[in-house]
Amino acid sequence: MASLKELKGRINSVKSTQKITKAKQMVAAAKLRKAQEAAEQARPYAARLAEVMGSLASKITISENSPKLLAGTGSDQVHLLVVANSDKGLCGAFNSNIVKAALIKARKLEAEGKTVLFYLVGRKGRAVIKREFPKQIVHEFDTTGVREPGFNEAEQIADELVALYDKGTFDIAHLFYAKFRSALVQEPTGQQIIPVPAPTAAPAAADAVTEYEPEEEEILAALLPRYLKTQIFGALLENAASEQGASMTAMDNATRNAGDLIQKLTIQYNRSRQAAITTELVEIIAGAEAL
- How many domains does the chain divide into? 1
Q: What is the pLDDT of residues 118-132, one digit of tens each?
A: 999 888 888 888 888
Q: Is residue 228 part of a domain?
A: yes
Looking at the predicted structure, is the pLDDT value of residue 20 above 70? Answer: yes
Q: Is residue 286 part of a domain?
A: no
Q: What is the pLDDT of residues 241-275, one digit of tens each?
A: 888 888 888 898 999 999 999 999 888 888 888 88
Q: Is residue 265 part of a domain?
A: no
User: Given pLDDT bands bounded at 50, 70 and 90, which one contains residue 75?
Assistant: confident
Closest alpha carbon to 128 in 98, 170, 173: 98
Q: Is residue 279 part of a domain?
A: no
91 classed as catalytic: yes
Average pLDDT over residues 39-48: 86
Residue 230's domain spans which residues?
42-248
Q: Is residue 63 part of a domain?
A: yes
Q: Select which of 42, 81, 84, 91 is catalytic.
A: 91
Closest alpha carbon to 229 in 168, 156, 167, 171: 156
User: Could you tell me the CA-to-CA distances from 250 to 94, 282, 284 in Å, in that order?
Assistant: 10, 48, 51
Residue 6 confidence (pLDDT): 83
Residue 108 confidence (pLDDT): 92
Q: Is residue 244 part of a domain?
A: yes
Looking at the predicted structure, is the pLDDT value of residue 34 above 80? Answer: yes
What CATH number did the domain enclosing 143 receive?
3.40.1380.10
- The pTM assigned to this predicted structure is 0.80
Q: Is residue 24 part of a domain?
A: no
The Cα–Cα gap between 167 and 80 comes to 13
Q: Is residue 27 part of a domain?
A: no
Looking at the predicted structure, is the pLDDT value of residue 240 above 90? Answer: no
